[in-house]
Amino acid sequence: METEGTFLPETAAAARERYEDCGPTAQVAVKEVARAMSFDAEEYDRRVTGEVVETAREALFASSLAVRVGTREEYEDWRAETDHDVHEIGSEHVDNVVWHAPPFADEAVAATFQDERRAAVETLRRQAFGRLYREVV
């Protein structure tokens, strides 16, 4: 079993703080992308909305979440030991699972995969943000 990412908040307050910290970085990233796309001031004002910056902030936050990646057996061993209610997506007939379970929450998310580890990790992080963090942050 391995861990990808570094952020596993112990508390909801820690998650909110990290999310707030992502705000300035998201603004800079969006501005630089718009510059690389040669937006002039008018196009920037028209196309770069608060929603665009907020989407970048969510992606930055989610991209650092610590997720465990393991075999189905390792995942089942973890499930036997956890009190988290787990929302699992994917097929139960594949060999690998990625999961995220914040200590402060009663819920966790998991995604199964056979070969596409990177895709599963990124899918799981989006699921984690939507299911576990959106209401918290």
Which amino acid is residue 113, in one-letter code?
A: F
Residues found in the chain? 137
How many angstroms separate the first and last alpha carbons of the chain? 29
What is the rounded CA–CA span in Å between residue 45 and residue 124? 33
The single residue listed with the structure tokens 């075999």 is 71
Q: Which of 28, 47, 63 is the last residue of a domain?
A: 63
What is the rounded CA–CA span in Å between residue 103 and residue 8? 8
pLDDT along the chain (137 residues), means of 10: 97 98 98 97 96 97 98 98 97 96 98 97 97 97
Provide the number of structural domains found in the chain. Answer: 2
**Would you say residue 90 lies in a domain?**
yes
The sheet carrying 2-4 orders its strands as: 2-4, 67-71, 96-100, 107-113, 85-89
The single residue listed with the structure tokens 């910290």 is 21
Same domain, 110 and 72: yes
| Domain assignment of residue 124, given as a range | 66-133
Contacts of 63 (CB under 8 A, 6+ apart): 5, 125
For the chain, what is the mean pLDDT?
A: 97
**Would you say residue 24 lies in a domain?**
yes
Name the pTM for this structure: 0.93
Same domain, 50 and 84: no
Same domain, 77 and 109: yes
Q: How many CB atoms lie within 10 A of CB 133?
A: 22
Which pLDDT value is given to residue 18?
Answer: 98
CA dihedral 5, 82, 102, 2 (to 10 degrees): 0
**Would you say residue 109 lies in a domain?**
yes
